[in-house]
């Protein structure tokens, strides 16, 4: 049993003040302060395309009803996503983004006796929640191919509570193979839940893993509409898992779901060509940048997502400041790779300005 306990009423009362749980904390690592006019914002893995036209129309239409809670829209999103993924709707729960269920999963399944295992470098959000529960955090270096080292992760803590895999990974944008994920689910410690963050899955050609959830595995899959769907500020996402696994998340908050985000997400899911079209468009911009970097013999990690890690050959924080002086705002630095900086793939115009600033800063 998990040694960490807190009542739903107590948690709901102070969750917003927790250092890892509130929305400001979730985004604060990518916050950059005041931005000069015309600044290029490629720091937070946002999609500058924004919501698709169908989502915009749905949100505009529902705003007049914004005085109503419209509880049913969360259920409708869950049902729509379940239909797209071919699973029962009881296996899906809607949330305001995917950071919320990420934190809830760690709170529910880790404790001083049950650790949190994650890749390094990797998305850091779950580590704060694990530290709050008193869980030991195990940071496992990526493989030489920049995939999650699933065998090392499975061995890290024989009593692990959560093993977290982001695929494609944030910040590297690299993939862990479906075979490795299947191996991890089959060979993890019996105490552990695999938390598979598929926030960026639609930007790649990787096979999603909702079928493993449908097969009854100890697996929770996270989805968000913040990335490919262009709804980062509108807050829509979901957790996908066995009903008994999802039930344990309910005790850690009962906040309302933003109806605008719910209807925008529903509309987005119903546009059948949206994912392949946006995947192709983002990949074209990304590959153009990679060709530029190759041409100028700059070192980087080749990505399947909307971000990549650039080796800046100096302390990364110095590079971030130098780029900001050129009105180009890039991402942050991970301690495991201090000379790399995460770059978000923006529009063609934004990346053209990035290239100009990059050549100036790298030649300085």
CATH number of the domain to which 352 belongs? 3.90.1150.10
* Cα–Cα distances in angstroms (integers) from residue 149 to residues 76, 136, 143, 163, in the given order: 37, 19, 6, 11
**Could you tell me if 283 and 227 lie in one domain?**
no
Q: What is the CATH number of the domain that holds 81?
A: 3.40.640.10
Choose the final residue of a domain: 269, 294, 324: 269
- Residue 355 lies in domain: 23-49+274-363
Is residue 345 a part of any domain in this protein? Answer: yes
CA-derived radius of gyration, the chain: 20
pLDDT at 99 exceeding the cut of 70: yes
Is residue 2 a part of any domain in this protein? Answer: no
Is residue 311 a part of any domain in this protein? Answer: yes
**Could you tell me if 41 and 167 lie in one domain?**
no
**pTM of structure:** 0.92
When pLDDT is cut at 50, 70 and 90, the band that residue 29 belongs to is low
User: pLDDT tens across 114-126, in order?
Assistant: 999 999 999 999 9
Beta strands in the chain (DSSP E): 40-42, 92-95, 116-120, 137-141, 162-166, 193-197, 219-224, 237-241, 300-301, 307-311, 328-330, 340-344
Is residue 10 a part of any domain in this protein? Answer: no
Report the sign of the C-alpha dihedral through residues 282, 235, 169, 203, in that order. negative
Per-residue pLDDT at 311: 98
**Could you tell me if 263 and 293 lie in one domain?**
no
Is residue 14 a part of any domain in this protein? Answer: no
Choose the final residue of a domain: 269, 292, 317: 269
When pLDDT is cut at 50, 70 and 90, the band that residue 15 belongs to is low
Is residue 199 a part of any domain in this protein? Answer: yes
Closest CA to 241 of 267, 265, 215, 263: 215
Task: Supply the mean pLDDT for the chain.
Answer: 93
User: pLDDT tens across 269-279, in order?
Assistant: 999 999 999 99
**Could you tell me if 122 and 257 lie in one domain?**
yes
User: pLDDT tens across 147-161, in order?
Assistant: 999 999 999 999 999
**Could you tell me if 242 and 335 lie in one domain?**
no
Report yes or no: 146 and 172 within 8 Å, Cβ to Cβ.
yes
Give the separation between CA 280 and CA 273, rounded to whole angstroms. Answer: 11
Per-residue pLDDT at 213: 98
Choose the final residue of a domain: 233, 249, 269: 269
Per-residue pLDDT at 364: 86
When pLDDT is cut at 50, 70 and 90, the band that residue 30 belongs to is low
**Could you tell me if 66 and 174 lie in one domain?**
yes
Per-residue pLDDT at 36: 74
**Could you tell me if 322 and 191 lie in one domain?**
no
Is residue 184 a part of any domain in this protein? Answer: yes
Give the separation between CA 28 and CA 299, rounded to whole angstroms. Answer: 27
pLDDT at 164 exceeding the cut of 60: yes
**Could you tell me if 91 and 223 lie in one domain?**
yes
**Could you tell me if 343 and 198 lie in one domain?**
no
Q: Pairing between strand 193-197 and 162-166?
A: parallel
**Could you tell me if 185 and 66 lie in one domain?**
yes
**Could you tell me if 190 and 211 lie in one domain?**
yes
Is residue 18 a part of any domain in this protein? Answer: no
Q: Is 157 helix (H, G, I), strand (E, B) or coil?
A: coil
In this prediction, residues 61-71 reach a mean pLDDT of: 94
pLDDT at 22 exceeding the cut of 70: no
**Helices vs strands, H then E, count in the chain:** 14, 12
Q: How many independent structural domains does the chain possess?
A: 2
Per-residue pLDDT at 356: 98
**Could you tell me if 67 and 163 lie in one domain?**
yes
pLDDT at 21 exceeding the cut of 90: no
């Amino acid at each position: 049993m998990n040694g960490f306990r807190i009542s739903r009423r107590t948690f709901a009362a102070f969750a917003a003040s927790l250092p890892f749980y509130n929305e400001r904390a979730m985004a604060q690592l990518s916050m950059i302060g005041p931005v000069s006019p015309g600044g290029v914002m490629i720091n937070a893995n946002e999609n500058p395309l924004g919501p698709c036209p169908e989502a915009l129309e749905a949100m505009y239409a529902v705003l007049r009803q914004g005085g109503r809670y419209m509880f049913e829209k969360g259920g409708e999103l869950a049902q729509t996503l379940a239909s797209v993924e071919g699973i029962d709707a009881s296996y899906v729960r809607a949330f305001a983004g995917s950071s919320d269920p990420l934190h809830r999963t760690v709170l529910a399944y880790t404790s001083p006796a049950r650790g949190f295992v994650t890749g390094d470098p990797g998305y850091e959000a779950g580590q704060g929640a694990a530290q709050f529960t008193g869980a030991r955090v195990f940071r496992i270096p990526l493989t030489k191919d920049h995939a999650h080292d699933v065998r090392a992760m499975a061995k890290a803590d024989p009593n692990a509570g959560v093993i977290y895999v982001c695929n494609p990974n944030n910040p590297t944008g690299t993939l862990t193979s479906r075979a490795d994920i299947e191996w991890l689910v089959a060979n993890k410690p019996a105490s552990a839940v695999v938390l598979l963050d598929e926030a960026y899955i639609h930007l790649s050609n990787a096979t999603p893993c909702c079928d493993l959830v449908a097969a009854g595995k100890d697996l929770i899959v996270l989805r968000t509409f913040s990335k490919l769907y262009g709804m980062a500020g509108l807050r829509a996402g979901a957790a996908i898992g066995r009903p008994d696994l999802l039930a344990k998340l309910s005790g850690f908050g009962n906040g309302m779901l933003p109806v605008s985000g719910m209807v925008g997400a529903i509309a987005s899911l119903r546009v059948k060509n949206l994912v392949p079209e946006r995947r192709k468009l983002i990949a074209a911009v990304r590959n153009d940048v990679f060709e530029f970097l190759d041409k100028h013999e700059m070192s980087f990690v080749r990505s399947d997502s909307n971000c990549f890690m650039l080796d800046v050959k100096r302390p990364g924080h110095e590079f971030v400041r130098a780029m900001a002086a050129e009105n180009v705002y890039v991402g942050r630095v991970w301690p495991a790779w201090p000379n790399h900086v995460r770059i978000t793939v923006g529009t063609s115009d934004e990346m053209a300005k990035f290239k100009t600033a990059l050549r100036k800063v790298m030649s300085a």
